[in-house]
Amino acid sequence: MFLKKMMLWIPFEEWVEYVYTKLLEAIHFDGHSVSHFQVEIGSMDYGMEIDGIIGFDLMKAIGLIIDTNEMTVNSHL
């Protein structure tokens, strides 16, 4: 459920990106949840295929551990 919605206009040198900012009630990951978390949703047309970007603020909030040798992602809360 979305608690708040805003649209941001972010000007760059050669383009403009529109981003929706939403405050979510909770994000659930690996059996843990983070309450009242703000996310930004945009078109993400960067010339390559991207499904999404996980920001450092979410990684820190859920204690994300990325093992590049094993290619696994876990949380340590």
Residue range 37-59, pLDDT digits in tens: 888 877 767 677 877 777 888 88
Q: What percent of the chain has pLDDT over 70?
A: 73
**Side chain identity, residue 41:** I
Coil, helix or strand for 42? strand
pTM score:
0.58
State how many domains the chain has: 1
Between 2 and 63, where is the model more confident? 63
The b-or-e profile of 33-52 (16+ CB within 10 A means b, else e) is ebeebebeeeeeeeeeeeee
Q: Please, what sign has the CA dihedral across residues 9, 10, 12, 16?
A: negative
Confidence of residue 1 (pLDDT cuts 50, 70, 90): very low
Q: What percent of the chain has pLDDT over 90?
A: 8
**Cα–Cα dist 39/49, whole Å:** 20
Q: Which residues contact 33 (CB under 8 A, 6 or more apart)?
A: 26, 27
